[in-house]
Structure 1
């Protein structure tokens, strides 16, 4: 188990770079807009959102290298993309070059949401899979926190502070590249490529008592062909699940908030320095409640965490909207947004990448994750890019009210559609979720829970 934990943490470090890359731009937000005299529309949709559009492309096509060259090699090249992006953006002298290098980093983010969860889910025992895959989300929020702290300490070093903010990511990117060379390839991916002997060696390292035949029989079910794809009728239910959980994740407003946290706090009446400090507090809250989510996901299950998160979303977003509408001022908006981030961390944050990595069969897992990640990142690119304009046109109170109403719909999704996947082997999940008639979406646990 110690080896599995180390390999899982190493793969999940892609999430640290994901979180850092996503949020580090928030510290340079206004400085870059003033430097290049950008309109709200250009600044939001190009300078700020170009990394997210790169993420969309990385998510759409990231399943290809994940399937073709393997999980490990894909993770290695993701590190290279992060490194190039950090160096290039730091030395950019106009918004177009800056946006181009941010786009490259976005490719790494998008691909990492496929390769890292797939890798960890495929080496983890069923009863520990939730918390091990959730290490990816933990690393995301750790990266977010470190980015907020880094921005705070670099903000006063001069007119080129933004260059240091985005360039410092080159250091953890280089370390990650070295670490990823130490992990083995996923045994399930090796089996999908008929490299049985290599898979047997890796499986022996993971669990000397495990039977390769059990996984081979489940991974190579009758009826599986090379020409299958995620849009076939029998995969409709897992496809719907991936779409809905990704859709609601972004319509909570989480990425819009993370990208513009300092700006939102300033809109609420806080000074610039206080706004940046509040952003660090958001990062700490995110980290603490993600740890709680990681600790509970295999004990309470995915659905209960989503119940808790959905109700917390509705309450917190409703209160944020009311705070702006009634001009409550003071620390009301930061307080309610702290509740919002805690609700996200323990619910959607802890669950989304675990859940999407579980619901598709082994042979189309990367393609299924690519679909779910693509939905997530298309919305993550569109929604934050509209925030500066929406705040100006309809006001933050309406924006946050819309997010709150969407979370009511998420709660209904959790109640009536979402199945529980806790403690069930990937192969049993595949068999149950692809059945044509799933009564009440109930998946029964079987004796295969010990199979990795």
Structure 2
């Protein structure tokens, strides 16, 4: 007789990779849509008479939309379900992507980019919640963290597509912008066949449907969980109640502290290399290319270590090492150091920085319960997108007014602050069930009460 197992105890298999494909489409499309506008704008400015303000609005519209979409979409994901929102979201993205081809005024593009941002912001919490709720506990961290890699793949792909579309002429920017409809439509069709999350169904009183999905996918000897799913009505404010507010603070702060320097340095890396004295027309771009490759490669060992040694150390120490690398770079700027020396320091920074990049997907999807998992991820995503856009805006201003050394010291200080926040707040969730990880705040509260009673009686 086969032993009964839970969905989280099933070994990693083909179905899990299928769900990973559905979820990673979110980050790929996000990177693609954000990247393609950079190439398209360069061509558009010769087609339209665009002011600097209008260029800025077009560039910022997607990020502003992601703030709104994260908050609204995450909440709706917990209300109407993962699958429904996944499909609705892709449909909106497909329509908005195609309409970009037909614009005849830059303001129309601002509106469409904002709508795309809303859909992208909504897609993040859907992808994270679905991946977390189907993953085996022993592989959940790697599967969630691995989603981050596809942002870089999508971003790099957009530049390649833009490059190959440039020869199509004055209307090449139209094809570039509309090209995002291709991966969106592929993902829309693929997601039509995906199942609803059993955990979401059970939380909404639909246990029969939940168990039927689990047994259809994993077999008759598999159940959803040994721990009954609590049936709790979704309320947006629940992400701040019952001790969950500290997790909102923790994830929102460490994610923002990681993104602000990353987006700033990543956007202006050629200028940074030029200020180090490598502006010969090649080295600054060679350095930039190597850094971006390392960003992706640095994630691979992190996905192994996050399951082997745990979430805490793979967040804490990358923050620390990244900060030290930037402090050393700040101290050596202006000293005419060899190109190889500067490049190695940036490789160290890039490798460890991207190692911590897995955790914004892992922690919010593990620390919050099913009824607000999407809401929490959506809200935190929105907040961090505002933080990253502000950081990207301020970076060149600080660089121009205070110089490279001070700018790198500030970036290093932000990472060091992330190290301290993580050191004191990061929990360990390795090999725990989702019920256990989302109850960590309750355990802490209970332990505090018990300690208080012991002190009073002692």
TM range (shorter): 0.7 to 0.9
Backbone CA RMSD of aligned residues: 3.1
Do the aligned partners of 1:41 and 1:388 also contact (CA within 8 Å) in 2? no
Which of residues 359, 376, 393 is equivalent to 1:351? 359
| Bigger shift: residues 69-78 or 311-320 | 311-320
Do the aligned partners of 1:22 and 1:259 also contact (CA within 8 Å) in 2? no
Pick closer, same or farther for the CA change 1:36–1:180 going to 2, 3 Å.
same
Do the aligned partners of 1:432 and 1:438 also contact (CA within 8 Å) in 2? no
Distance 1:109 1:282 in 2: 26
Distance 1:416 1:244 in 2: 13
Q: How far has the Cα of 1:358 moved from its partner? A: 0.5
Once the two structures are superposed, the pairs formed by residues 280-359 of structure 1 within 5 Å of their partners are 280-322=289-331, 325-326=334-335, 336-347=345-356, 349-359=357-367
| Bigger shift: residues 355-364 or 264-273 | 264-273
**Unaligned segments of structure 2, at least 5 residues:** 1-12, 449-458
Distance 2:345 2:38 in 1: 20
Distance 1:259 1:185 in 2: 38
Q: How far has the Cα of 1:116 moved from its partner? A: 0.2
1:171 maps to what in 2? 182
2:386 maps to what in 1? 378
Do the aligned partners of 1:262 and 1:272 also contact (CA within 8 Å) in 2? no
Do the aligned partners of 1:23 and 1:258 also contact (CA within 8 Å) in 2? no
Once the two structures are superposed, the pairs formed by residues 174-213 of structure 1 within 5 Å of their partners are 174-208=185-219, 209-212=221-224
Q: How far has the Cα of 1:259 moved from its partner? A: 4.3
Distance 2:125 2:379 in 1: 9
Which TM-score applies when normalising by structure 2?
Answer: 0.83
1:449 maps to what in 2? none
| Bigger shift: residues 301-310 or 268-277 | 268-277
Do the aligned partners of 2:82 and 2:130 also contact (CA within 8 Å) in 1? yes
Residues 12-67 of structure 1 show CA distances to partners (whole Å, capped at 9, x for unaligned) of: 211111122223333345555676565656534x1221111111111111113212
2:263 maps to what in 1? 255
Q: Max radius of gyration: which structure?
A: 2
* 1:82 counterpart = 2:93: yes
* 1:147 counterpart = 2:158: yes
Do the aligned partners of 1:59 and 1:377 also contact (CA within 8 Å) in 2? no
* 1:419 counterpart = 2:427: yes
Do the aligned partners of 1:152 and 1:277 also contact (CA within 8 Å) in 2? no
Distance 1:136 1:436 in 2: 30
Q: How far has the Cα of 1:319 moved from its partner? A: 4.5
Distance 2:285 2:216 in 1: 46
Which TM-score applies when normalising by structure 1?
Answer: 0.84
Q: How far has the Cα of 1:383 moved from its partner? A: 2.0
Pick closer, same or farther for the CA change 1:60–1:265 going to 2, 3 Å.
farther
Distance 1:365 1:258 in 2: 30
Q: How far has the Cα of 1:370 moved from its partner? A: 2.0
Once the two structures are superposed, the pairs formed by residues 102-141 of structure 1 within 5 Å of their partners are 102-141=113-152
Residues 155-178 of structure 1 show CA distances to partners (whole Å, capped at 9, x for unaligned) of: 566555444443322211111111
Residues 187-224 of structure 1 show CA distances to partners (whole Å, capped at 9, x for unaligned) of: 01111221111111111134333334624x2x217xx5
Pick closer, same or farther for the CA change 1:341–1:102 going to 2, 3 Å.
farther
- How many aligned positions are there? 433
Distance 1:189 1:439 in 2: 29
| Bigger shift: residues 385-394 or 182-191 | 385-394
1:99 maps to what in 2? 110
1:443 maps to what in 2? none
Q: How far has the Cα of 1:399 moved from its partner? A: 3.0
Do the aligned partners of 1:302 and 1:420 also contact (CA within 8 Å) in 2? yes
Do the aligned partners of 2:77 and 2:125 also contact (CA within 8 Å) in 1? yes
Distance 2:342 2:105 in 1: 35
Distance 1:239 1:233 in 2: 12
2:8 maps to what in 1? none
Distance 2:166 2:266 in 1: 18
Pick closer, same or farther for the CA change 1:15–1:378 going to 2, 3 Å.
same
Distance 1:161 1:339 in 2: 38
Do the aligned partners of 1:246 and 1:376 also contact (CA within 8 Å) in 2? yes
Q: How far has the Cα of 1:355 moved from its partner? A: 1.1
2:412 maps to what in 1? 404
Distance 1:83 1:334 in 2: 40
